[in-house]
A = this chain, B = another copy of it.
């Protein structure tokens, strides 16, 4: 640590995220990040190993941010109310950052950081379902079903996959209700 760097890995990821938010995930290029941080492109390699790694770090950032937000939202709640708040929190996050969700990695097993972030995320889901008294594989299945619904909807909505946005709130409410009913029904 001979020199205090003007740039850090965290700041590089910050700039990358801004770029994704503003111009979409395809605009995440090392040249653009360099321009935004006021640095020559090759200088970024002092903080990031490659464009691929930067993408991975952005993914970790997203998972962490969502996890923190959901943890906060669900705090002090339990049962159906906790699940409802969690699911609506998820959708709200994606709605606030429409272009961001495309950068979410579905494969958190490759990278060690992503793996850790993914596990923490799963823990929040499991904790939210704890009051239902599910054990072993039942708990795993329940979190999987939750992920499927929440990610499926977010993915289609943020990609503009639903034709007209009319009644989307209703559709989501129905999904939440469907999930909760099913959760109670199998006890």
Contact = CB atoms under 8 A, between A and B. Distances in A.
Q: Which 6 A-B pairs have the closest CB atoms?
A: A152-B152, A106-B159, A148-B152, A106-B161, A178-B182, A107-B160
Contacts of A106: 155-156, 159-161
A187 interface: no
A179 interface: yes
Number of copies: 2
23 contacts: A106-B155, A106-B159, A106-B160, A106-B161, A107-B159, A107-B161, A109-B160, A137-B167, A140-B167, A145-B171, A145-B174, A147-B156, A148-B153, A150-B152, A151-B155, A151-B156, A155-B155, A174-B182, A177-B182, A178-B179, A181-B181, A181-B182, A182-B182
A180 to B, nearest CB: 11
A187 to B, nearest CB: 14
Nearest to A144: B171
Interface in A159-185: 159-163, 167, 170-171, 174-175, 177-179, 181-182, 185
A141 interface: yes
Interface of A: 105-109, 137, 140-141, 144-145, 147-153, 155-156, 159-163, 167, 170-171, 174-175, 177-179, 181-182, 185
A-side binding surface: helix, strand, loop or mixed? helix
A104 to B, nearest CB: 10
Contacts of A160: 106-107, 109
Nearest to A142: B174
A167 B137 CA distance: 8
B149 A149 contact: yes
